[in-house]
Each structure stands twice: as C-alpha cells, then as structure tokens.
Amino acid sequence: MTAAPSLPRIAVVGSGIGGLTLAAALAASGTPCEVFEQTRSMTETGAGVQLAPNAARHLRRLGLRPALDEQGVAVEEMRVYGWAGGTIAATPFGAACEMLYGAPYYAVHRADLQQALLRLVGPRPLRLGHRLKAVRRDGEDMVLAFEDGTTRRADLVVGADGIHSVVREHLVRDAPVFSGLGVFRGLVPVERLPAEAREPLIRIWLGPGRHFVCYPVSSGRLMSFAAIAPLAGAGAESWSAAGDPAELVAAFAGWRGLVSDITRAAGTVRRWALHDRPELRTWSSDRLTVLGDAAHPMLPFMAQGANQAVEDAVELASQLAGAHRDEVPGVLAGYERARAPRTAAVQQGSRAHADAMHLPDGPQQRERDLAMRRSAGLRGLRERAWLYGHEAGAVTPA
C-alpha cells in the first residue's frame, strides 16, 4: 500500500506584515507552518502604514475587518499640496474606493496591524528568539541554522526577513542600494495639532528635493508623519534609529499647512536612510523563496511596500493550498511567475516617483502639477485600477 503524499513542512522566517499574513493565509487554507522570529518579544516600533484596497481586501477576507475598522482610519481623500501652500490635486477614496475596488483605503499604526495579525495567527506557530544564521540544502531537506546553535528541517523555506534577508543570500549576493534620501518618522497626538488634523485624509506636500506625508492612525488619536529629505550618508539603517527633532524642523522650515505644526509638535522622531535593492532575477530555488522586502524592497514613494508583501503572501498561500511535499517546486515556479512582473513594475514606479515628487520650483514642477490636476478626482482613482484592482490568488478557508 502506497503512503499518501504529505503536506510540506513550511518554515517562514520573519514575523512582519508579510510573514504573519502568510501564516494567516496558510492557516485559512488548512496548511500549517512555523514562523521563526529573531526577537524574543513581539513589539513594533514603526509608525503608520497605508493599506490600499489591493491589500485591504485580502486582510478583511482573512478576518481583520473588525480590527481595521476599529483601530485604523478609513481615508476619505488624498490631497497633494505645494510646499509653499495651495492644493495641487485631490483624489477621493472613501465610498468610491470601496465601490470600485471592494475595500476602503486604510491608514493604520503598524503596531496595531501587527497585533491584529498576531491575534489571528495565534501563538502556536510562532518560534521567538530564533535569529537565522544560514540556510542550506541537505538532500531533499532545507536546513535552517540559528545563532543559538539549533537547527530545523523544512520542505520549504520562505524568507519574509526584510531588506537584510538571510534567506535572500541563498539566491543572490547583492546589497541594499542607498537612495541618497533619509526619512524622519514619528507620531504626534492629534490634540497637539489644529482641529483640521482630525480629518481622515492623507496629505502630501511636495517641494524641492523633499516631501512630507501625514495621516491619522490609531482610531484617529495619533498623526503619523514621514518626512523625506536628502541625507549625506547612508548611516544607520534601523527603524529604531533616533532622529533629532531640531533637524526635522530645520529641514522643513518655511513649509506651509500642517507641516510646521507637526514638525514643531514632534517630541520624538526616528530617522533612517532609504534603500532598495536590485530586482531579483530568480525568486526561488525548488525549496526556498522570498516575499515582501526580502524579495523586492521598495522606496516608499508609492506607499506599496506593505501592500505588495500582503499580495505576495496571499498568492503564495493560495498556490500552496492542498499542495503536497513533492509539488513545492512547481508551486514556487508559479508563485514567481505571478508576482515578479508586478512587483518589478511597482518597484520601478517607486524609484521614478522620487524624482517627480522632488522637482525644484520651475517649468518641470509646473508641468508635473498640471498633469496631477488632470488625473485627479474620480478619474485618477479609476486610473489606479492596475494597482488597487489587482487580485492576488484567493484563499479559500479549509
């Protein structure tokens, strides 16, 4: 009597948004996994994250709708301003976004999103305090070696371990590429700001060499901001690297609107260099693959980093649903075909946006502003169908 093919042993490295979404999506289809995380406690130090409909749809299907509705902010509109004042363009989200794309556009605190995913996944698959040192092939198995000397065998290793991915090193030897820009990030209680800060809007100010983004998170209690400006050297590349509030104020001196209110009210800021990496020519071996920033770290100028990680996770989980151990190589080939062209387009678009957003005042800037006005409003929202309307593989609960 021949034994039935067995489900693959899946090891997910990293418990950020991509890794936890993958664990949740795998569980929804009845596929178990283990999630290995280097930290010993699940704490998130990030600020805000934008969840566009292309990710929000999947997260709501997985069970996060109550958490997103309660702890996030459903954005009504995105407004773009010039640094010296005046609205350049406005794009409606709100009900129009849900009508066109099946989900709102949310602004959430990264910690709130991570905690909601952790509640969904539960403690059972989590293996905390496991810092991956290396991964190697041994016959039909992949062997994960951790810094504490322990090892684990798996039929599939998924690297969701960020821009400094150890798993990616099994595929290619490359390094992060410094963009020449840094980002100040932080959170400000809305009671320290003018009343207009409570409006459920994403606001973006564009200026020479830099730009400023803000939006409310945590049920509207906090204002999350990201201030991008030139940075002389790459320096520390850490989400917890401290920044100088005085440097933030100086970098955006003279800017109008809420910019000056937020920069003056920000008591604690983080600052780090912005990097991406070259596009991967090959995402997978027959027993190993990557997702999210481990596969395609992006500059934040399309606000799609977390969204593309969610899409990766859902696509991979969908293709793994019901697959047996000997089917993993074919699954990974299909996953790469589905994801690589799309993420390459978004990654390239994010790089291109950096130049367009930071034009000096003058003819090119005025041409950009005119083009933005022409593609604003509901028309502009419809033009984003390629981005917001994309449907990654659907996960059917077991």
Compute the distance between CA of residue 381 and CA of residue 377 in angstroms, rounded to an integer. Answer: 7
Compute the distance between CA of residue 55 and CA of residue 64 in angstroms, rounded to an integer. Answer: 11
Instruction: Record the tokens describing residue 106, joined without a space.
Output: 């949310």
Q: Is 312:20 a contact under the CB 8 Å cutoff? A: no
For 103, the 3-state DSSP assignment is coil
List Cα–Cα distances, 187 to 116, 243, 321, in angstroms. Answer: 20, 13, 39
Compute the distance between CA of residue 259 and CA of residue 289 in angstroms, rounded to an integer. Answer: 41
Please, is 156 exposed, middle or buried when counting C-beta atoms within 10 Å of its C-beta (0-12, 13-18, 19+)? buried
For 260, the 3-state DSSP assignment is helix
| List of residues 6+ apart from 223 with CB closer than 8 A | 187, 188, 189, 190, 193, 197, 214, 215, 216, 217, 262
The region that residue 30 occupies, defined by phi over 0 for left and psi between -120 and 50 for alpha, beta otherwise, is left
Dihedral, CA atoms, 225, 229, 233, 237, nearest 10 degrees? 20
* Residues counted in the chain: 398
147-154 CB contacts, 8 Å cutoff, 24+ apart: 152/11, 152/34, 152/36, 153/9, 154/8, 154/9, 154/10, 154/11, 154/34, 154/287
Is 105 catalytic? The answer is no
Q: Which of 101, 215, 335, 388 is catalytic?
A: 215
Residues acting as catalytic residues: 215
